[in-house]
Chains A and B, each alone.
Chain A
Amino acid sequence: MAMLLTKLPPDSLMNIYLNGKVIHVADAMTLTELLLEMDYSGKRIAIEINQEIIPRSEHNTHRLKSDDRVEVVHAIGGG
């Protein structure tokens, strides 16, 4: 996250909410790029943006918008 801030000029950044936390990312970044940045590539996860599921097949083409609420979920122990 911080790395992106330093690499890019301020006018090309936007805020998104990732699992409830505000982060700054490059404007119109794709979901795949975000996942790469967050070390989620190749992990078993599912993604919802503004309460709509973004299928894995669309991660590469889906572009994030300002104030998007992104939820990244995985399976954990439970009964």
Chain B
Amino acid sequence: MSTVAAETKKTKQAKQDNQAGPAIQDKLIIAGKSYDSRLLVGTGKYKDMAQTQKAIEASGAEIVTVAIRRTNIGQNPDEPNLLDVISPERYTLLPNTAGCYTADDAVRTCRLARELLDGHDLVKLEVLGDEKTLFPDVIQTLQAAEILIKDGFKVMVYTNDDPLVAKRLEEMGCVAVMPLAAPIGSGLGIRNPHNIRFILEDAKVPILVDAGVGTASDAAIAMELGCDGILMNTAIAAARDPVLMASAMKKGVAAGREAFLAGRMQARRYASASSPIEDTFT
């Protein structure tokens, strides 16, 4: 059999596999590691550890963010540790730099996280600029990203929805760029889909919406735009039933992704009958 024929057979097989389940073949790849879930979740604002665990489980997320904070000296020494509930063996942990307002603080936090997690180098960089909006300080973010990348970190970076800044962060070597869709914790949804589209247009690293999603349809909208994934926390934790919302978000993200891959129909102003207009008998 010629090589060409063999290759054709292989391609056909790949297509058949693809028809069997397009979503199954569709992996999110971040820093060389592949993930089935395109939903990344935070662990903040839950009622207790049990609810955190159940919601994370229901979300199907494989990448889970954590914050790094001082221990409470002498308080509740028997309190369950988050890492006992969200085990680093099962999940890819994504320590964040939430609460940092300078590049120096963010770098310091990432280094502590790496020590805490035995050399784990995937981090979520966020350097905030304003307490009221929690908008990123882009200048400090760029400075921190440069230091962290030089220091061997794999940086997933929270930024605003400025396409030029997103490009710059990609060029610097960030492994994922994560523009906000609305302020952190606001649940306002995808406020500027046009900018997200610009960012997506020639991106060479995964683009994830980080912040702003309020409900499952927002997640679907972001994914239909072509985002590679979504990172959320409050939309799940602040729902009346966080565990059920986690499941809804899982489906919203998956539905939006499949719709993006499927390619939506062209919208039109007037009706187009779905049933044949010929051979009617009335």
Contacts and interface: CB of A to CB of B under 8 A. Distances in A.
A38 B72 CA distance: 11
Nearest to B111: A53
A46 B66 contact: no
Interface residues of A, number: 26
B83 A77 contact: no
A79 B115 CA distance: 20
B98 A79 contact: yes
Interface in B187-233: 231-233
A64 B66 CA distance: 29
B46 A77 contact: yes
Contact of B70 (A38, A39, A43, A72): A72
A58 to B, nearest CB: 11
Interface in B38-53: 41-46, 52
Given A19-B70, A19-B73, A44-B83, A77 B116 contact: no
A75 B116 contact: yes
A40 to B, nearest CB: 7
B234 interface: yes
29 contacts: A18-B73, A19-B70, A19-B71, A19-B73, A40-B71, A44-B116, A45-B116, A46-B68, A46-B113, A53-B111, A55-B115, A56-B115, A71-B112, A73-B69, A76-B43, A76-B66, A76-B67, A77-B42, A77-B43, A77-B44, A78-B65, A78-B67, A78-B96, A78-B233, A79-B44, A79-B65, A79-B184, A79-B231, A79-B234
Interface of A: 18-21, 38-40, 43-48, 51, 53, 55-56, 71-79
Interface of B: 41-46, 52, 65-71, 73-74, 77, 81-83, 93, 95-96, 98, 108, 111-113, 115-117, 184-185, 231-234
